[in-house]
Amino acid sequence: MNMKKTALAGVCAAAMTISMGLTAFGGQWRSDANGWWYQNEDGSYPADAWQWIDGNSDGAAECYFFDSQGYCMTNTVTPDGSTVNEYGAWTINDTVQVKAFPRESRATDGIRSEFKKALDTYEQFFDEYCAFMNRYSDSGYSPEMMGDYLAFLSKYQEAMDSLNRLDNQELNNSELLYYLEVTERITQKLTEVSL
């Protein structure tokens, strides 16, 4: 019975995280019937240009080329002769080109260390979970991986326990901002896994 509760809690948490509509603090990918474009934080978008984007906040930016209408070119050769893959990322010899793009938290002062540790543990769980779900999908949803999935449910409970210990404490502005940044990154990662 406890395993069922844990599984249900994990599924509910993932669903709630995916469905939460948070305001983005940086730019974000957008799409319509014509394709994908990137809206910068100031509302502008690149057109007829390359732009480095760390869209999943993993600290590594990929470079994308946007056509004259502002749409990301995919699976083609750009006007300057470079190659982009099916996601639009610049490649050389089928290797996506990346550059370090350090995560910058807008909330660094005034965060209690136990609060930061709890949120970092929570985000780390979702990083591992997303990597697992990609492997699981790539395996053709192999039943042999079910044991690994159950282990993730246990890790999820540990991450939730650390957050729940802080539950009765009021957040200051820096902590609230950091919480929003972390949940935004988690939501983005879960959305990418579900696509």
Same domain membership, residue 113 and residue 19: yes
Same domain membership, residue 143 and residue 47: no
Last residue of a domain, one of 100, 120, 136: 100
Same domain membership, residue 117 and residue 173: yes
Residue 52 sits in which domain range? 28-100
Rounded distance between C-alpha atoms, residue 79 and residue 166, angstroms:
53
% of residues, the chain, pLDDT over 90 = 24
Same domain membership, residue 119 and residue 151: yes
Rounded distance between C-alpha atoms, residue 33 and residue 16, angstroms:
27
Same domain membership, residue 184 and residue 139: yes
Same domain membership, residue 135 and residue 185: yes
Enter the tokens of residue 20. Answer: 């939460």
Query: What CATH number corresponds to the domain at position 93?
Result: 2.10.270.10
Same domain membership, residue 12 and residue 34: no
Largest CA distance in the chain: 60
Helix (H, G, I), strand (E, B) or coil at 114: helix
Same domain membership, residue 79 and residue 128: no
Single out the residue of 78, 77, 76, 53 nearest to residue 68, CA to CA: 78
- DSSP codes, 7-75: HHHHHHHHHHHHH-----SS-EEEEETTEEEEE-TTS----SEEEEE-TT-SSEEEEEEE-TTSPBP-S
pLDDT at 46 over 90: yes
| Average pLDDT rounded to a whole number, residues 52-76 | 89
Same domain membership, residue 7 and residue 79: no
Same domain membership, residue 113 and residue 177: yes
Same domain membership, residue 6 and residue 54: no
| Claim: this prediction has a pTM higher than 0.85 | no
In this predicted model, what pLDDT tens digit does every residue of 140-187 receive, in sequence order?
877 887 887 787 788 788 777 777 776 556 777 778 888 888 888 888
CB atoms within 10 A of CB 17: 17
Q: 106 and 25 in contact (C-beta within 8 Å)?
A: yes
CB atoms within 10 A of CB 59: 12
CB atoms within 10 A of CB 13: 17
Residue 151 pLDDT: 79
Rounded distance between C-alpha atoms, residue 126 and residue 132, angstroms:
9
| Helix or strand run (H / E) with residue 195 | none
Please state which of the ranges 14-23, 123-132, 141-150 shows the lowest mean pLDDT.
14-23
Q: Where are the alpha helices (DSSP H) in 57-169?
A: 113-138, 146-164
Last residue of a domain, one of 100, 121, 141: 100
pLDDT at 28 over 70: yes
Last residue of a domain, one of 42, 76, 100: 100
Same domain membership, residue 112 and residue 19: yes
How many domains does the chain divide into? 2
| Helix or strand run (H / E) with residue 98 | strand 98-100
